[in-house]
A and B are shown apart, each in its own frame.
Chain A
Amino acid sequence: MAQLLQHLINGLAAGTIYALVALGYTMVYGVLKLINFAHGDVMMVGVYMGYATAIGLGRQAQSSLWGVALIFAAAMLGCALLGFFIERFAYRPLREKPRLTALITAIGISFALSYGFQLDLGFKLPLPGGYELSLALPGASPRAFPEIIRPTEWLIIGDRDVVIWNWQVISFLIALGLMLVLQYLVYRTRFGRAMRAVSWDHRVAALMGIPTDRVIALTFMLSSALAAGAGLLYAIKDTSVSPLMGLYVGLKAFVAAVIGGIGNVPGAVVGGLVLGLVEEFVVGYAASTWRDAVAFGFLILVLLVKPGGLFGRVAAEKV
């Protein structure tokens, strides 16, 4: 029983992060019908932005409340900017080209980021006042993410049968908060309504006076910021960060988005949670070797029974 509870906690922790990343896939797919394979790598860049901010703040400041807020803000804003540039210079010029072109471009950006970040490059900029700004790519080897939430045990059941840490609860709350903000943005604001209209049919939306380019750019920024937030939670949870982390998490989150029905916002959340829990229970109660096989097998099963995913709708293709 205690073991079940511990697995449930582990699975939820992994699942909320998949869900946050999956939301980014789903939103971009919703407005552009593009599977943005660079999404996971944008998340990785966000993690390193957070890492750099945390190191810049120093040991004391990084774990204070405003320090954590600053780390999140820097990573999310930085990634929003990155998302903007990727959309503007890589995807927008290809918007009227066949969809495959944009897809291949996305894969290209993904590799450029994940392998580019392994290069050993850096430079220093002298700033007025004797300060120096040093910018460098992180290099290939994994790094330990600083403990920006000092780990404390909040709940221990039995003889350490179940342990819950403060950062697990805090991460869960942050993830929940981000999802609620997103829910509000998509369903309660003018921008959200515009976004949903574009996802319905972007040509008609443009005819109705919706600035589709701006809506798409904003969607990219939003999904990238969300990825950065998810990435930081991931880094807090698993402590090791490396330039290749985005490929792996990105793939899993993509599966989660498809399970939930890609293009569907609540679907991505449910898909992420389901995937996290399925993986955890497979490893915990069956053989760990089976984790990926079962995760992808589950994806195939869902698609066989409901081709549009759990929450997706299958649109009949009009010829």
Chain B
Amino acid sequence: MRRLVPMLLAALAALAAGCEKKTQPAPSGESGAPTATAGQSAGSAAPEGSDTILLGEVGALTGGQATFGISTRNGVELALKEANAAGGVKGKKVAVRVYDDQSKPEEAALAVTRLITQDKVVLILGEVASSSSLAMAEKAQAANVPMITPSSTNPAVTEKGENIFRVCFIDPFQGFVMAKFAHDNLKMNKVAVLQDNKSAYSIGLADVFTRKFTEMGGKITGTESYSQGDTDYRAQLTAIKKTQPDGIYVPGYYSEVGVIARQARELGLKVPLMGGDGWDSEKLYELGSSAIEGSYFSNHYSPDNPDPRVQKFIADYKAAYGGVPDALAALGYDAARVAVEALKRAPDTSSASLREAIAQTKDFPGVAGTVSLDEKRNAVKSAVVLKVADGKATYVTTISP
């Protein structure tokens, strides 16, 4: 009997290995990619004669933000599938190796190091959560490998160095969008803030919202905080309730916001909640149920957009994965396509020429808005405000920079 435990552990390890394999898309070919990297002796340039260009991706496939990572991975996969179907880049296939970071920044940093030193990828995509992207950017910048984050909106991410890019807007803009919307469209005067103190993203949005809303003449009645992973917010909400706000700004992630909405309604707080793109997940409507109805959040894209390019993306995504793509899938798709475009434009795959090519991205027609990178390597684009109604997000308005 005593032998049972090691056997069980071995079985678990085998399962874990099996899972890791599954995260790699078919084109990379489990045996093909490693031989490609093994044949490469010096420098970060892909070897001549190898028939794949390997990209790396780090995402939260497990943990609290798992739907973010999975959506992004699907978007990236779809973009690369299309690129390869259209002939690839310079006659080569583009493949991606995906590592799971369990929604933890420290794991994300490890994964990047592994991608750079072991897999010798030419470019890195990821993460969604700014805290994780910050940890990754540090490593990518130090190793001089270009990195594109699809959806991290914290300004500090691209400030890590000239190798770090993003295809989405930044926090100050999201905070500004909601402050403007709350003040001008919803005519609110008093708003309370409830932020996630463990997340750079949440703190960033809350800070800008507070500043902009006050500048516009509004009043912040109180700022409360929680930590990611909490499930009881009644104490904070009871304190907020006392201040009688017109609305509550909760720039957190869907996994917490749904529960926060329920407990707010339970305590008799009926005012709308407002948030950012961290809300964007089908799970929000499951966790929040009827309590989240009538709340607003800013986002990168809306599936209601009639643009044929967007509709084609939605149809392709539905065919491949089922379900309507969320903004993170759209941004993952855009990031991978920007990367492929840059690979096409760059004379070779050295990090210097890749970096140059990415930096020149201008008026790139993405599904989540037109991408032009500014000199700080951030995308300049407009945001949409969505309202939760009947268990889904409906388009309300677009707010431009």
0/1 interface trace, chain B 224-252, chain A, CB 8 Å (1 if under): 11110111101110110110000000000
Quote the shortest CB–CB distance from B297 to chain A (angstroms): 18
Q: A239-B259, A283-B235 are in contact. Are A3 and B242 (CB under 8 A)?
A: yes
B66 touches A139 (CB 8 A): yes
Alpha-carbon distance between A95 and B67 when the two chains are bound, in angstroms: 42
Q: A144-B287, A289-B225 are in contact. Are A240 and B235 (CB under 8 A)?
A: no
Any chain A CB within 8 A of the CB of B64?
A: yes
Q: A118-B62, A140-B61 are in contact. Are A238 and B266 (CB under 8 A)?
A: no
Majority DSSP secondary structure for residues of A touching B: helix
A288 touches B66 (CB 8 A): no
Quote the shortest CB–CB distance from B351 to chain A (angstroms): 33
Q: A140-B63, A238-B231, A238-B259 are in contact. Are A163 and B267 (CB under 8 A)?
A: yes
Any chain B CB within 8 A of the CB of A306?
A: no
Max chain A Cβ within 10 angstroms of own Cβ: one of B197, B258, B268: B268
B15 touches A144 (CB 8 A): no
A284 touches B235 (CB 8 A): yes
Which residues of B are found within 8 Å of A282, using beta-carbon distances?
A: 235
Any chain A CB within 8 A of the CB of B286?
A: yes
Any chain A CB within 8 A of the CB of B5?
A: yes
Which residues of B are found within 8 Å of A112, using beta-carbon distances?
A: 12
Determine, out of A6-14, A208-216, A255-263, the stretch whose residues face the partner at the interface: A6-14
B19 touches A240 (CB 8 A): no
Number of A-B contacts (CB under 8 A): 112
Which residues of B are found within 8 Å of A142, using beta-carbon distances?
A: 64, 255, 283, 287
0/1 interface trace, chain A 294-313, chain B, CB 8 Å (1 if under): 00000000000000000000
B19 touches A237 (CB 8 A): no
Which residues of A are found within 8 Å of B226, using beta-carbon distances?
A: 288
Contact of B238 among A6, A13, A115, A141 (CB under 8 A): A6
Quote the shortest CB–CB distance from A282 to chain B (angstroms): 8
B287 touches A163 (CB 8 A): no
Which residues of A are found within 8 Å of B259, using beta-carbon distances?
A: 238-240
Q: Which chain A residue has the least Cβ–Cβ distance from B60?
A: A140
Quote the shortest CB–CB distance from A34 to chain B (angstroms): 17
Quote the shortest CB–CB distance from B23 to chain A (angstroms): 10
Determine, out of A38-46, A56-64, A70-78, A241-249, the stretch whose residues face the partner at the interface: A241-249
Any chain B CB within 8 A of the CB of A154?
A: no
Contact of B232 among A14, A119, A120, A139 (CB under 8 A): A14
Which residues of A are found within 8 Å of B67, using beta-carbon distances?
A: 141
B197 touches A140 (CB 8 A): no
A7 touches B283 (CB 8 A): no
Contact of B234 among A10, A89, A139 (CB under 8 A): A10
A245 touches B266 (CB 8 A): no
Any chain B CB within 8 A of the CB of A98?
A: no
Alpha-carbon distance between A248 and B64 when the two chains are bound, in angstroms: 13
Any chain A CB within 8 A of the CB of B262?
A: yes
Q: A144-B289, A151-B266, A239-B262 are in contact. Are A89 and B1 (CB under 8 A)?
A: yes
Q: Which chain A residue has the least Cβ–Cβ distance from B255?
A: A142
Alpha-carbon distance between A182 and B289 when the two chains are bound, in angstroms: 36
Instruction: Report, nearest first, the 5 A-B pairs whose CB atoms are least far apart.
Output: A283-B235, A160-B268, A140-B66, A238-B231, A140-B62
Q: A3-B242, A140-B64 are in contact. List 20 more A-B contacts (CB 8 A).
A: A3-B239, A10-B235, A118-B63, A140-B61, A140-B62, A140-B63, A143-B286, A160-B268, A165-B266, A238-B259, A239-B262, A239-B287, A240-B259, A242-B255, A280-B234, A284-B238, A288-B235, A288-B236, A289-B197, A289-B225
Can you give 26 contacting A-B residue pairs, CB < 8 Å?
A: A3-B238, A10-B235, A115-B62, A118-B62, A118-B102, A119-B16, A119-B62, A142-B64, A144-B258, A144-B287, A144-B289, A151-B266, A237-B232, A239-B262, A239-B287, A240-B255, A240-B287, A242-B255, A244-B64, A244-B229, A245-B231, A248-B229, A284-B235, A285-B239, A288-B239, A292-B227
